[in-house]
């Protein structure tokens, strides 16, 4: 880990700080990471064909595996290395839907994605190949996958307005005054609204389902799931989570141990797959909550914040069954609303990155449209075909480059 002179000076000038500050930062890290996107995870697993019990088991699995991974990495390297479940990956699953072979085939695809992540840590060429995928294409694929999910709140208004409208208004108000807590507040309002609706309609709830439990599934292997789920899940997890996660940590002066991080997250994904866990990875956006100076003036003490986050994730994992039970009894569209609101910022960022470079805009637009269409060919979902289409269009337009106005000498290649 490198520590800049300014960091050292800040530590010398700062008053003594106890454990309260990093512990508090770790608690916030876990709460924000969990509440901001657990609905996306449930939506993705359910779309893959998981039963409510299997979806709850999957949420439990990713919570526990990422918690253990955080504790291992942060304590071993004394860095604020935080992990997260793959939110873009969960969104990809929600947009892909049930694949040939059903839920067991999806579980097999999760395990293959984890294996690919482990291999990437040891095989530099594979990592370089993923890094070589143009950012515009990868982000356009992600944006296309996210679009149907982000439209869900608007559609849900017509189905359950009494519950959905207050949720959207709460999110909108908090976006202005306390954006970090907007999704958490929206979920709280959704939970209250769902509870009132359940009480009014007298729908029964099986309290026994709220007890956290693991439901194991024997993985099944199908080439459709391999190409349509495992490969896109691996690519989006690497391109949208692991690589940006390393960059975020580097901005705070930390050099993430690449091989160890991918080994831990890859093995965690493999071990969590039979229980329904789709993928874990390096945290990107939430990583800053534990790695920034706000967690502790001394960079060498911020690992405490990450370790605290890991412990809190273990506690939050116990809520998996209760959350799924509440969601299952809630009015139609409530889960989709919370998930869609949680992904709007990600969609905006993906669209900005995808369409920001003029020379790649056409290829990115094609990628986005194919992914958003949800087209399935040969049993393979649209995310894979979007990536193929975008790369082919980009290659074709670049191949015709000499016929177009030539780039100025010394300018960067497209």
Interval 59-90: pLDDT, tens: 999 999 999 999 999 999 999 999 999 988 89
Note whether residue 4 is domain-resident: no
Report the run of H or E that residue 170 belongs to, with start and end: helix 161-177
Instruction: Name the least confident of 61-75, 101-115, 176-190.
Output: 176-190
Note whether residue 123 is domain-resident: yes
pLDDT over 50 (residue 291)? yes
- The pLDDT value recorded for residue 59 is 94
pLDDT level of residue 390 (50, 70, 90 thresholds): confident
- The pLDDT value recorded for residue 158 is 83
Token look-up 């990536």 returns: 387
pLDDT over 80 (residue 382)? no
pTM of this structure: 0.77
> Which structural domain range is residue 175 located in?
19-400
Give me the number of domains the chain comprises.
Answer: 1
What mean pLDDT comes out for the span 298-306?
91
- The pLDDT value recorded for residue 220 is 92
Note whether residue 13 is domain-resident: no
Note whether residue 144 is domain-resident: yes
Note whether residue 197 is domain-resident: yes
Max mean pLDDT range (117-126, 270-279, 322-331): 270-279
- The pLDDT value recorded for residue 4 is 43
Cα torsion 369, 152, 215, 260 to 10°: value is 50
What mean pLDDT comes out for the span 167-194?
85
Q: Which of 204, 219, 337 is nearest to 271 (CA)?
A: 219
Note whether residue 7 is domain-resident: no
What single DSSP character describes residue 413?
P
pLDDT over 80 (residue 92)? yes
Average pLDDT, the chain: 83
Q: Where are the alpha helices (DSSP H) in 229-333?
A: 231-237, 243-251, 258-272, 287-291, 303-317, 320-329
What mean pLDDT comes out for the span 352-373?
86
pLDDT over 90 (residue 271)? yes
- The pLDDT value recorded for residue 400 is 62
d(CA 303, CA 71): 9
Note whether residue 10 is domain-resident: no
Note whether residue 12 is domain-resident: no
- The pLDDT value recorded for residue 6 is 41
pLDDT over 80 (residue 137)? yes
Instruction: Name the least confident of 339-348, 380-389, 397-406.
Output: 397-406
Residues linked to residue 393 through DSSP beta bridges, in sequence order = none
């Amino acid at each position: 880990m490198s520590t800049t002179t300014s960091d050292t000076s800040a530590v010398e000038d700062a008053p003594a700080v106890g454990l309260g500050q990093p512990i508090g930062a770790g608690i916030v890290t876990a709460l924000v990471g969990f509440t901001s996107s657990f609905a996306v995870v449930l939506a993705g697993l359910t779309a893959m064909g998981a039963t409510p019990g299997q979806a709850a088991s999957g949420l439990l699995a990713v919570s526990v595996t990422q918690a253990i991974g955080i504790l291992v990495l942060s304590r071993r390297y004394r860095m604020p290395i935080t992990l997260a479940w793959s939110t873009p990956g969960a969104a990809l699953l929600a947009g892909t839907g049930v694949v040939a072979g059903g839920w067991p085939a999806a579980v097999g695809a999760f395990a293959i994605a984890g294996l690919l992540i482990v291999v990437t840590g040891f095989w530099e060429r594979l990592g370089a190949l993923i890094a070589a995928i143009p950012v515009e294409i990868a982000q356009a694929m992600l944006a296309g996958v996210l679009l149907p999910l982000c439209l869900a709140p608007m559609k849900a208004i017509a189905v359950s307005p009494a519950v959905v409208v207050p949720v959207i208004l709460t999110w909108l108000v908090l976006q202005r005054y306390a954006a970090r807590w907007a999704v958490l507040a929206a979920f709280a309002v959704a939970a209250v609204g769902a509870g009132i609706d359940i009480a009014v309609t007298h729908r029964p709830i099986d309290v026994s389902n709220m007890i956290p439990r693991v439901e194991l599934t024997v993985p099944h292997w199908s080439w459709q799931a391999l190409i349509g789920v495992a490969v896109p899940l691996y690519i989006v997890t690497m391109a949208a989570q692991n690589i940006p996660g390393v960059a975020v940590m580097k901005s705070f002066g930390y050099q993430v141990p690449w091989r160890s991080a991918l080994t831990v997250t890859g093995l965690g994904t493999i071990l969590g797959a039979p229980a329904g866990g789709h993928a874990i990875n390096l945290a990107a956006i939430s990583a800053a909550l534990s790695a920034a100076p706000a967690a502790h003036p001394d960079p060498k003490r911020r690992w405490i914040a990450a370790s605290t986050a890991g412990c809190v994730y273990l506690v939050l994992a116990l809520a998996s069954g209760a959350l799924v039970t509440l969601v299952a009894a809630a009015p139609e569209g409530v889960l989709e609303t919370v998930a869609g609101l949680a992904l709007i910022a990600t969609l905006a960022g993906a669209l900005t990155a995808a369409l920001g470079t003029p020379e790649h805009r056409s290829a990115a637009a094609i990628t986005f449209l194919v992914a958003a269409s949800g087209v399935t060919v040969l049993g393979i979902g649209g995310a894979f075909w979007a990536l193929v289409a975008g790369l082919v269009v980009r290659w074709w337009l670049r191949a015709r480059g000499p016929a177009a106005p030539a780039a100025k000498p010394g300018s960067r290649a497209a």
